[in-house]
Structure 1
Amino acid sequence: MILCKNNKIRSLKLNIFTKYYFSVVLNDMSTLYNLLMIKVMVLLSILKIFNLKIRKFINERKNVFQVLQKEISKSEKYIWIHVASLGEYEQGLPVFKEIKSLYKNHKIVLSFFSSSGYNARKNNPISDLTVYIPIDTYKNANRFLDIIKPDIALFVKYEFWPNFLLSLKKRNIPTYLIAGLFRENHWIFKFYGFWMRKILKSFSHLFVQNNNSMKVLSKFNFNNCSIMGDSRYDRVMTLLDQNNEVSFVNEFKNSRTCIVAGSTWKEDDDLILKFINSHLFNDTCWIIAPHQINLKYIEKIQQKVKSNSILLSELNSENFQNIDIIFVDSVGLLTKLYAYADISYVGGGMGNTGLHNTLEPAVFKIPVVIGKTFEKFPEVSDLINLNGIISIRNYDSFKTKINELIQSNDKRDEMGEINYNYIKSNQGATKKVITYLNEKK
């Protein structure tokens, strides 16, 4: 009896010590993180003198609070949605639209981290105000939330900003992660990621994309999560209903087989240009859309091709004839251009930059060719196994597969049907999220 009491006392002491130890460590980690962020801001303020990109990064965020104070009304209710960039915005868009309908008496503040996402969607049909997210310091996070006072906050996929999340939790603001994707080998789930796992506990609910993500979170005692699927499937299906006309592209294509290479990087462009210069097909045309719209770079690769080419911005009724290649020099048109494709190539997989969205071309019932790196994208692995997507490792495999697709209508049709049916069967993520939020309303 005495032994049993002693064991209980020791166990109680251990629990108290463990909680105290981790609270101290977590506080220390928060302090270290905030000191680091202050140092980062100081460093950026120095480096901006010498670096144009850093100067642009600082200047873009300089007036965020002035804009908020001017535009935010104390008499209005707000929902805050944060995305990293354009890809996350597009992924969450079906959910955002339904939230706008569900919370008709609220206004929406949308924030971006990246300048490319902000510039592409600063004018959008969802938000009443679009801004950059301030750098994640304790002071910035609290000032941001003090002004907006959101009733709900939503983050998409990978956006875990400690100060913002902790401040939201402290204020008891319901905070949701949409389309979360977790892998067991991610650093958050290593022994040294315990602090970030604690930050993740700030979310009221985590909507994850797949069963594997759910298993990983459950292993680390996350009980506030559910599988929603991937709202990108809902999003890309809507591309079929939008107006996909781009001036004079149909005339440019005519009856030729059109290959659209989207979001390409240098490693992708090297393969494509080599192929074009050694395979001059009279019945084939190309549309190449580099990921970064850099006119100097586009002019450089344009000079490397032997075939007649033109910038999309220069295409008109008088010059579309005898052109074999269009180089896209404007943003926001890629999904429309995929509608003209018979074959698509999606960039980012030949280097280390990260594969871009393969579902956008796939929904148009066309085959998709990608580079060698795709492991982080479960839908790509699925479609490779189903023979809807082809992964190439080098120029020789690129040449072989593109030639096969150019020469076989049946092969293209078969792969296109596989891709479309896969997307269609995976719809429904948006409905799951909105059903949950409606119950919590």
Structure 2
Amino acid sequence: MNAGARLSGAGARAVLALEPLIRRAWPELGRALSARRAAAAELAAWGRRREPGPLVWLHGASAGELLGAAPAVRILRAREVGRPGRRATLLVTHSSPSGRPALEWLDPDRAGYPPLDHRRDCDSVLAAVRPGLLVFAKLDVWPGLAAAAARAGTPTALINGTVRPGSRRSGAVALRLFRESYVRLATVGAASPEDARRLAALGVRSDRIEVTGDAAFDLALERADRARADGSAAAYRSALGAPGARTPRLVAGSTWAADEAALLDAVATVRREGGPGWQLVIAPHEPTAARVRELLASCAARGVPAIRWSRLGESATAPAGAVIAFDEVGRLAELYAAGDAAYVGGGLGGTGLHNVLEPAAAGLPVLFGPHHDRTDALALVRAGGGLSCSAGALAATLAGLADPAARARHGRAARAFVEADTGAATRTADLLSPLWPAG
């Protein structure tokens, strides 16, 4: 077993030993850990019950990684229709509960958490499930799972492969520990030439890397266009009301507490200085009941009226100037299509900037904080569709976007940026096709 897999296994055992403490201190994390602990037995039991035949296992950390993989997977499954033999079973696993909204785009035969990353669990699942191909999406190459696949003779692939500048995977110790996991990858689709070079430095063999691009661009465009074509964007606009020409709508997605505080303060400043009112719709990252209550409390502390999205259209209506706390899961791309401008969270509080492509594909100017390492966000700024600003500069940025012509100019640039980088889905499907198992 490689050093990285040994370290990952030791980490998994340590976490299990601390599970009672974790469950008391962080209940949500404890529930996720319990689900991971149970996943090995559940997946193995399912693997033994399933009908014999080819199987592909796709793993991603959360919704973003899995959604980026969805277009290529759908192309490959469509190609199976005209071929002899059985269609491959699709198993999808995700490390975070936030991965669940991606499942409707993948239509898997089985989905859930992966086993914990230690040898016993990974080997038992691989033996029972018998995948013909294991595909990691974007970032997550789990060393224990990769090592188990190698022992089982299962080829592994990485698609939409990304290594951000300064990634901890690039440190000297990490390079020694995890190199073998990357050396064993049978094929890799890199998101960019820079990612290809960084993946080669991690250990991927140069003859196994191809720059395919990131299919997240394809999916973002598809979701934005579908939201307009199927009427869901219009339905959101209708439910949110018509705020008026002097009250454009700012849709803030995947926010954390630092983002929400900055937004509430900035909108209040713009209004106080005679600028537009900005109807503010905030969709917290993982909108649990606790997080939504935290957002509503933050609004109340500032004297700002607020209402949950789930209450609109039932017995309640939004008060004038109210913040809408969006508590629906998996519909953020459609919500963006109902906005006039977008804010993407994670760039202020050090939690990691979230998906900027969905609002860009909707043709909106995209605002976000400066603390991130996302190359697509940096490129979006250079293209004129993204606006990176600190919390202190957010009010001035919103005041500048009061002009509809300015919003339209940035929005066109954002949409053109996404359109220019589509096509990765087909290239990724072609890359995986020789390894895709057939019955």
Bigger Cα displacement from structure 2, 267-276 vs 142-151: 267-276
CA RMSD for the aligned pairs? 2.5
Determine whether 1:311 maps to 2:308: yes
Q: 1:207 to 1:127 in 2, by over 3 A?
A: same
Q: Please point out which of 210, 220, 227 is paired with 1:236.
A: 220
CA distance in structure 1 between the aligned counterparts of 2:316 and 2:74, rounded to whole angstroms: 40
Question: 1:66: Cα distance to partner?
Answer: 4.4
| Equivalent position of 1:143 in the other structure | 124
Name the SS for the 1:48 alignment partner. Answer: helix
Query: Following the alignment from structure 1 to structure 2, what is the Cα–Cα distance between the partners of residues 431 and 260?
Result: 31
Equivalent residue in structure 1 for 2:335, among 328, 337, 343: 337
Aligned to 2:262: 271
Structure 2 residue 398 is the aligned partner of structure 1 residue 402: yes
| Offset, 1:108 | 0.5
Query: How far apart, in 2, do the equivalents of 1:248 and 1:419 lie?
Result: 21
Q: Does structure 2 retain, via aligned residues, the 8 Å contact 1:169–1:202?
A: yes
In 2, the alpha carbon distance for the partners of 1:58 and 1:283 equals 43
Does 2:277 align with 1:289?
Answer: no
Gaps of 5+ in 1: 1-25
| CA 218–75 in structure 1, closer or farther in 2 if over 3 Å, else same | closer
**Matched position secondary structure for 2:18:** helix
Q: Equivalent residue of 1:261, what SS? A: strand
Aligned-residue offset at 1:86: 1.1
Contact 2:53-2:89 at 8 Å conserved across structures = yes
- Give the counterpart letter for 2:68 in structure 1: Q
Aligned to 1:153: 134
Please tell me whether the aligned partners of residues 296 and 307 of structure 2 are also in contact (alpha carbons under 8 angstroms): no
TM-score (norm 1): 0.86
Q: CA deviation at 1:339?
A: 0.9
> Contact conserved, 2:69 with 2:215, CA < 8 A, in 1?
yes
Q: Which residue of 2 aligns with 1:112?
A: 94
Moved more, 228-237 or 100-109: 100-109
Deviation, structure 1 residue 149: 0.3
Tell me if the contact between 1:252 and 1:320 (Cα under 8 Å) persists in the aligned partners.
no
Distance in structure 2 (CA, Å) of the matches to 1:221 and 1:312: 46
**2:51 counterpart of 1:63:** no
Structure 1 residues 132, 29: CA separation in 2 closer, same or farther (over 3 Å shift)? Answer: closer
Structure with larger Rg: 1
Q: Would you say the 8 A contact 1:277–1:306 is kept in 2?
A: no
> What amino acid is aligned across from residue 288 of structure 1 in structure 2?
I
CA drift of 1:252 comes to 3.1
Alignment match of 1:250 (pick from 223, 235, 238)? 238
Percent identity between matched residues is 21
Shift of 1:321: 6.0
Instruction: Give the match's secondary structure for 2:401.
Output: helix
Aligned partner of 2:355 in structure 1 is 357
Contact 1:349 1:373 in 2 (8 A): yes
Bigger relative contact order (CA 8 A; separation at least 6): 2
**Using a 3 Å threshold, how does the CA distance of structure 1 residues 136 and 285 change in structure 2: closer, same or farther?**
same
Question: Would the alpha carbon gap of residues 382 and 134 (structure 1) be closer, same or farther in structure 2, given more than 3 Å must change?
Answer: same
Whether the 8 Å contact between 1:253 and 1:285 is mirrored in structure 2 is no
SS in 2 for 1:166: helix
Look up the equivalent residue of 2:264 and give its one-letter code. Answer: L
Provide closer, same or farther for how the CA distance between residues 42 and 261 of structure 1 changes in structure 2, counting only shifts above 3 A.
same
Aligned-residue offset at 1:310: 1.8
Q: Could you say if the C-alpha distance between residues 189 and 222 of structure 1 is closer, same or farther in structure 2, counting changes exceeding 3 Å? A: farther
TM-score (ref. length: structure 2): 0.86
1:89 aligns with one of 49, 52, 66 = 66
2:193 corresponds to 1:211: yes
Deviations 1:177-219 (A, max 9, x none): 0111125643433332223112111210111111112223445
- CA shift digits 1:68-120 (9 cap, x unpaired): 314641423211111111111111111221232234511101111112323x3
What stretches of structure 2 of length at least 5 have no aligned partner? 82-86
- Is the contact made by 1:188 and 1:197 (CA closer than 8 Å) also made in structure 2? no
The secondary structure found in structure 2 opposite 1:37 is helix
CA distance, structure 2, for counterparts of residue 386 and residue 123 of structure 1: 31
- Could you tell me which of 313, 324, 327 is aligned with 1:326? 324
User: Which residue of structure 2 aligns with residue 13 of structure 1?
Assistant: none
